[in-house]
């Protein structure tokens, strides 16, 4: 089964800039992802936290996910390309660009 990659900041939590320590969860969005997990989907949280600063935010991020009740299989840090958008055959399709 192919995994579903989920961004963290501004997707399942509100974060002001790089102030990760004060990120606030968005419970309704976490519930949507947890529902996918419960239905058997493989969930991987994916973030660029610390990519440019060089700060390792892994422990804080994992602690946040667990304290917010996030269900997931893996947390990937810094493997995510720093992109404005992803255009492919699943997310934003080339046909949808105007």
What does the pLDDT look like over 2-50, one tens digit per residue? 898 898 999 999 999 999 999 999 999 999 999 999 999 999 999 989 8
Beta strand residue intervals within 1-98, DSSP E: 4-7, 13-14, 24-25, 43-47, 74-77
Q: Thinking of the domain 4-96, which architecture would CATH place it in?
A: 3-Layer(aba) Sandwich (3.40)
Identify the three-state secondary structure at position 68.
coil
Whole-prediction pTM: 0.86
């Amino acid at each position: 089964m192919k995994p579903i990659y989920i961004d963290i900041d501004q997707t399942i939590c509100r974060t002001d800039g790089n102030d990760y320590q004060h990120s606030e969860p968005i419970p309704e969005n976490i519930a949507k992802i947890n529902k996918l997990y419960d239905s058997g989907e493989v969930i991987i949280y994916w973030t660029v936290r610390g990519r440019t600063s060089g700060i390792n935010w892994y422990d804080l991020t994992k602690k946040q996910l667990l304290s917010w009740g996030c269900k997931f299989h893996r947390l990937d840090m810094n493997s995510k390309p720093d992109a404005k958008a992803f255009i492919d055959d699943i997310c934003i399709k080339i046909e949808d660009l105007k």
